[in-house]
A and B are shown apart, each in its own frame.
Chain A
Amino acid sequence: MTDTARGEGPECHTDTQHVIPDIGLPRPKNLTITVAPRSRLITLQEWEGLVENVDQERGSFTARLYDLRRKDSKDVEIAEFDINDVEPDGQELILPGAVFRWIIGYRDAVYGKRERVSSLVFRRLPAWTTEDLKRSEERGKSLANALRWK
């Protein structure tokens, strides 16, 4: 069985199914190939992070962390990370107010190799659109007009 569709996808997937496209060759219809998982991630700890400050000179950013395993906790955690520990595509997203996920866990490869991993993932939240900004503008105007001050 060939695996041309497998490529170099994210390693944290556990199961992947690929439907063979119909290219006119004689083959059974609806054939599916189940790709064995390459590795799986066992999450030990997970935070939602909020960037408070970015220091380009130090090459670091400081973030407030919200423990997703202790959501009711009122302790406040702050960490300073190296910007270079974020994948290159995510580094442009490191701005005050940016939200990210920090996961610590074990990555188990299929053939037994285990490594301890720390993963900082900046979320590409939906971008603001012209309509969003127009809507906010109108909402602000409408609330300001509706407020009756004493």
Chain B
Amino acid sequence: MLFGGSDYTCAPAADELEISVFGAGFGEAIAVHVGDNVWTLIDSCVLSSAGVSAQREYLADIGSQGARVQAIVASHWDDDHVKGFAGLLATYTGADFILAGIFGHQDFLAFAAEYDMPLTVVARGGVRELYAAIKHCVEKDRSPTFAAPSRRVFSADSYSHGAPVELWTLSPSDMEVRNFLRWVADQRQTVATTRRLAIGRKRNDLSTVLLIRVGLDAMLFGGDLEEEGKPDTGWSAILNDSGRPDHKSDVFKIPHHGSKNADHPGIWKQLVVANPHVVLVPWALGGGTLPSKADVDRIQGQTTNGYAASYVASTRSIKRGNAVDKTIRQSTRSFKTARHNPGLVRLRKKVGSVGAWKCELFGAAVHLSDYLSRSSSV
């Protein structure tokens, strides 16, 4: 069981929407229920010693083993979004696999193949997880669906609640794809260099943004898409796209852990309703943490309904005994630990109802107004 609490194991009703956002300090995953025990899963992280994706454990915990997973989305390939992803895909064999089409380009796959070497004991690059997922598709003759700007990748109106369900991808833009291919070309190896692991790209401009509409309700999932102020990349490209669905979302998964460089004033004016429900997943890698205090203040300036799937528990090192602790201090300029601190923000609402979303917090999840007081080193 991932979390405690008597309400935790309660599955959504057939006519109930659910957005469950999992976080742990490093790692994020999302499960969306659109009705009739049909789910869309976005990204993947591992929260427990079971070693499987959080969504898999969650669906078992709430008794939804018979769940029909309609789509699995890989927003991008950073380590904190893909752990357990290949296993998720292999488990739900009937699900559509949605990812940026560029991940099927021969140059990217050659790059991924170069780095697909088990030369380490524990360390793994995120690209290996995505590469395993693509190999799985080829081996199992499974056709992935490519994400592109303003592309409706799924629609159905056969749900018992009677509302039509649509999945749209809003990115990556053509310019992002070209930029990414240039980056991949720079990463290719040359003969006689020592093997290394693939390190993710610093800027997350290739991230897939997903919009799910269920009748009049809409939910926007920002992945890790960032903004650089250019009209044909990042959030600007989405806002400038006249082909995107003209519908404001009630729920918004904040991109890139709430960082300032993933925000754009147009998101709040054009893509989401006033005072939306927003969820962010904090990120802590050693001493670096997101969101910052300024990020929290900025987001709270837009909505009072903000939540964080986790908080930064501690950056203090684990105690390993005097000799080791003393040597760590003497041998490093800095040494920081981001403690695994899993939590879940769960939002539920009857399809088409005018009432507010019901929000439940499990584990380390907190209301955004409590985030700073609960976190250390922010």
Contacts and interface: CB of A to CB of B under 8 A. Distances in A.
B333 A74 contact: no
Q: Which of B47, B194, B285, B323 has the most CB of A within 10 A?
A: B194
Main secondary structure of the interface of A (DSSP, over half): mixed
B245 to A, nearest CB: 20
Interface string A110-131: 0000001110000011111110
B323 A128 contact: no
B287 interface: yes
Given A139-B109, A140-B106, A150-B144, A76 B119 contact: no
Contacts of B112: 140
Interface string A61-76: 0101010100111111
B310 to A, nearest CB: 12
B332 A80 contact: yes
B195 A127 contact: yes
Residue among A76, A82, A98, A149 with max Cβ neighbours from chain B (10 Å)? A76
Contact of B285 (A64, A117, A125, A147): A64
B24 interface: yes
Interface string A91-116: 00101111100001010000000001
A101 B90 CA distance: 33
Nearest to B284: A76
Given A72-B49, A135-B113, A144-B106, A45 B320 contact: yes
Interface of B: 24-27, 46-47, 49, 96, 101, 104-114, 119-123, 125, 134-135, 137-138, 141, 143-146, 188-199, 284-288, 317-318, 320-321, 323-324, 326-328, 330-340
Given A75-B337, A75-B340, A78-B285, 6 more contacts: A77-B336, A81-B331, A97-B198, A104-B327, A128-B189, A140-B109
Interface of A: 44-45, 48-50, 52, 60, 62, 64, 66, 68, 71-82, 85, 93, 95-99, 104, 106, 116-118, 124-130, 132-133, 135-137, 139-141, 143-150
Q: Sorted from nearest, which 10 A-B pairs have the closest CB atoms?
A: A78-B286, A140-B110, A97-B196, A140-B109, A74-B340, A144-B106, A66-B122, A136-B113, A118-B331, A125-B195
